[in-house]
Structure 1
Amino acid sequence: MKLSFRQPSISKFNLQITGSKSISNRYLILKAQFPNLELSGLSESDDTHVLYKAISTLDQKCDEIDIHHAGTAMRFLTAYLSSLPNLEVVLKGSKRMHERPIGILVEAMRELGGHLEYLGSEGFPPLKIYGKSIQKNKISIPANVSSQYITALMLIAPSFKNGLTIFLESKITSKPYLLMTAQALRSVGVEVDMHEEYIRVYPKTKIEPKTIAVESDWSSASYFYSCLALMDHGEFELSTFQKDSLQGDSKVAEFYKLFGIETQFKAGSIFISKKAGVMHPKKIELDLNDTPDLAQTIAVTCLGLDIACDLTGLHTLKVKETDRLVALKTEIEKFGAEVEITSESLKLSPKANLKESVSVKTYQDHRMAMAFAPLAIKVDLEILDPEVVSKSFPDFWEKIKVLGIQQNH
């Protein structure tokens, strides 16, 4: 898909953003345990559809569940399926999914009494899972690898007879996602104690009937912050969002002040605005340990605005849909800039005049496609495999077309 930019005749836009994938998937696991929980505003993402379908098929006694590229579904289901007595199922995914580690979570479930077997390489999917009733109530787990391992354990802990205490080894990565999980549990009546050294989730067998409305996705909103940053001026209304959001990526509002964007909250929407003639810094430095999914967006914004950046706290990006650090370096350098990466950081030395008509590979990674798309406001470019956005934001291309980013297939 080739992208170019045509200045729209208006500078104010109203956009509805899809429901949060992270929140939706947490509540789907809770709904599986508490059927009288009703959900509205669920994400339209592939990942959420895959998880919903997987849980729905359990009634049909299926022998195999394929979650394709859905990393969240792989981790949440590894824990959830292991805790279902008398279940026997194979959990598998795409080729890339079978290259993404799952060993820490598998070992945790085994220590709790679960029965899981590797069908391929040790430490990686696919898995053969024999569901069992979990009796143990304590586990220790590294907290600096993936918050999703811990979240997966937290979400199934209410079903344990004695609940679960999770002892956290090392510094927590992506802490806001654990706070989000705790909030989801509490919202349905499950008691949770959160501490730096451990998390305690108490048992719960039944809840009162309840309906939860899922907030829109801040990660998806970040691409519109990037679009506005790359424009001279404008104002977008994005809905539906909460000022007290527990989504870690809500910090995009704070980060993009660096690019001259102001955020206001009004009646369930955010109004983001940029005045003409804003001066940008020559360099920014950010620790994204709590918000690694914003790294690609911020790096490309800096590329488009000729701003040097030093981003740290990115150690989890190597085990995402692709090695995002390597992918960012490769694709950004096609535009003429220079990028240095380590195992957990990225340094960008920008270039004032970017190369035109670059073809950007997406590596089956939805965030690569969406992060680079706003750059079309500055230079014509091509996004390869654009349909990958369906993983988290199926109507992304329709949304940015409204802003003047033209698409030629």
Structure 2
Amino acid sequence: MSHIILYNAHQENQDASFMLSGSKSISHRLLIINYLSKLDTKFENISESEDTMLLKEALYTQNDLIYVKQSGTVLRFLISLFAYENRNVTITGKKSLFRRPLKYLIESLEKLGANIKQHNNKIIIEYCNLRSGSISFQKMYTSQFVSSILLISPYLPSGITLKLPPELLSLPYIKMTVKIMENCGSNLTWKENVIKVLNKGYSDVVKTVESDWTSASYLFLSFAFSNLKKIRISSLYKDSLQPDKIIVDFFALLGIQTQFYSDHIFLNKIIELNIPQKIVWDFNQNPDVFPTIVVACLGFNIDLCATGIESLKYKESNRVQSMISEAKKFNCFFEIKRDNQLLVRPCKKSIMKKKQLIIINSHDDHRVALAFSTLVLLDWKLQIDNPSVINKSYPNYWSDLIKFGVRIENFE
């Protein structure tokens, strides 16, 4: 397996600019809507992530065997779409992908008339005619079940009624789906925990995609650790639909000030600030920023009480265990209090020589590699195994990291 070695070459410049590609979450929803509407929209700033490329290819292929690698979103969105299209198709991917939750999505679609089977690392969708109906969701570890069905629902004969559970993880992503659907012409209502969608197809498609806030979190983190005084990031907005914009609030605790302009943000550092000794953070609605915040607390020697982490076991890796495994290499201590609470205690006194090489196992998880790589800016010498794993969400990241003064050596 290939790897890279990261060194801090110490940036002499005072600032840098970054152009992030579009939000992966928004791009996926717009691609499904564009496909269903047959409007053939030309997007601006669509995500360049590997996941997005997989979805675009899958939507327009005539093959009856589709490989989606490790993309949970692509898999779940395609299951509903292909069931609606009455297609006979098999979707396959990496073995780890099929350890992620799928059962409730399949069962919900079967209630609408779908014919779907899961066999080992395959989802087999057979000819079926989806009908309208009402679905009551129980507690689930991903909001993508709801978004997957919502996106196709304007094309069901009489729409659909979805009843959401009282407690729902990643609720902002359902709000994102609903808002995008409304902006694209669908007719729906959301009262309390019930969403009703009428049979009215999409009449328009949003053309410009905001940059990805989750990817931006690694730039926030790199900036916080670096000697740079200011950075500019394009196409991020104050009124964003993306829940991971919450990183603005988190990094403000560390002295990172965000200034919003019409088509970009500037980050500056507040020098005279008392950084907290402990932070309590709930990841229930923003699980993807968990690696970013853990590494930030590690780098700033801040104790972290992380709650709402139940869904993280169902990511590309068991993300809690992956983060624990790698952070221990920096003498970080952990205590799992309950299934949904983790205490993180960085070592306050460094007992390691930073010149020694720390090998980061990505666990085939892009967010693990992205987050830990930023520690090079605190003068750790790092080896990142399987560096191409970042292509899943942020393919230009290594080029962007160089702008902070990082030197990268490649090894096959």
Q: TM-score range by the shorter chain?
A: over 0.9
Partner in structure 1 of residue 298 of structure 2: 303
Contact 1:8 1:403 in 2 (8 A): yes
Question: Which residue identity does 1:104 align to in structure 2?
Answer: Y
How far does the alpha carbon of each residue in 1:217-242 deviate from its partner, in whole angstroms, 9 at most, with x for none?
A: 00000001111222355211101111
> Can you give the 5+ residue segments of structure 2 that lack an aligned partner in the other structure?
none
Q: What secondary structure does 1:2 align onto? A: strand
C-alpha separation between the residues in 1 aligned to 2:339 and 2:65?
A: 35
Partner in structure 2 of residue 268 of structure 1: 263
Work out which structure has the larger RCO, using CA pairs closer than 8 Å and 6 or more positions apart in sequence. 2
C-alpha separation between the residues in 2 aligned to 1:199 and 1:311?
A: 31
Higher alpha-carbon deviation: 376-385 or 319-328: 376-385
Question: Which residue identity does 1:198 align to in structure 2?
Answer: V
Partner in structure 2 of residue 188 of structure 1: 184
Q: What secondary structure does 1:134 align onto? A: coil
C-alpha separation between the residues in 2 aligned to 1:188 and 1:298?
A: 34
C-alpha separation between the residues in 2 aligned to 1:143 and 1:175?
A: 12
How far does the alpha carbon of each residue in 1:105-134 deviate from its partner, in whole angstroms, 9 at most, with x for none?
A: 0000001111101222xxxx5111024332
Count of residues paired in the alignment: 400
Identity of aligned residues (%): 32
Given candidates 7, 16, 22, the residue that maps to 2:10 is 7
How far does the alpha carbon of each residue in 1:148-167 deviate from its partner, in whole angstroms, 9 at most, with x for none?
A: 11110111111101111111
Q: CA deviation at 1:374?
A: 0.9
Contact 1:37 1:211 in 2 (8 A): no
Higher alpha-carbon deviation: 344-353 or 109-118: 344-353
Hey, which bits of structure 1, 4+ residues long, moved more than 6 A?
none
Asked if 1:53 is matched to 2:52, the reply is no
Partner in structure 1 of residue 45 of structure 2: 41
How is 1:9-408 mapped onto 2 (pairs within 5 angstroms)? 9-38=12-41, 39-57=43-61, 60=62, 62-85=63-86, 87-120=87-120, 125-205=121-201, 207-208=203-204, 210=205, 212-231=207-226, 234-341=229-336, 342-352=338-348, 353=350, 355=352, 356=354, 357-378=357-378, 379-408=380-409
Question: Which residue identity does 1:255 align to in structure 2?
Answer: F
Contact 1:232 1:277 in 2 (8 A): no
TM-score, normalized by length of structure 2? Answer: 0.94
Contact 2:22 2:48 in 1 (8 A): yes
Higher alpha-carbon deviation: 196-205 or 304-313: 196-205
Q: What secondary structure does 2:130 align onto? A: coil
Q: CA deviation at 1:29?
A: 0.9
Q: What secondary structure does 2:335 align onto? A: strand
1:105–1:211 Cα change, 3 Å: closer
Q: CA deviation at 1:213?
A: 0.6
C-alpha separation between the residues in 2 aligned to 1:285 and 1:380?
A: 29
Contact 2:306 2:342 in 1 (8 A): yes
Question: Which residue identity does 1:266 align to in structure 2?
Answer: Y
Higher alpha-carbon deviation: 292-301 or 278-287: 278-287
How far does the alpha carbon of each residue in 1:319-343 deviate from its partner, in whole angstroms, 9 at most, with x for none?
A: 0000000001111011111012342
Question: Which residue identity does 1:363 align to in structure 2?
Answer: H
How far does the alpha carbon of each residue in 1:310-360 deviate from its partner, in whole angstroms, 9 at most, with x for none?
A: 111111100000000000111101111101234223211111316432111
How far does the alpha carbon of each residue in 1:263-299 deviate from its partner, in whole angstroms, 9 at most, with x for none?
A: 1111210111113354311111111111110110000
C-alpha separation between the residues in 1 aligned to 2:371 and 2:99?
A: 23
C-alpha separation between the residues in 1 aligned to 2:281 and 2:381?
A: 28
C-alpha separation between the residues in 2 aligned to 1:144 and 1:118?
A: 18
Contact 2:27 2:52 in 1 (8 A): yes
Question: Which residue identity does 2:332 align to in structure 1?
Answer: A
Contact 2:13 2:228 in 1 (8 A): no
Question: Which residue identity does 2:47 align to in structure 1?
Answer: S
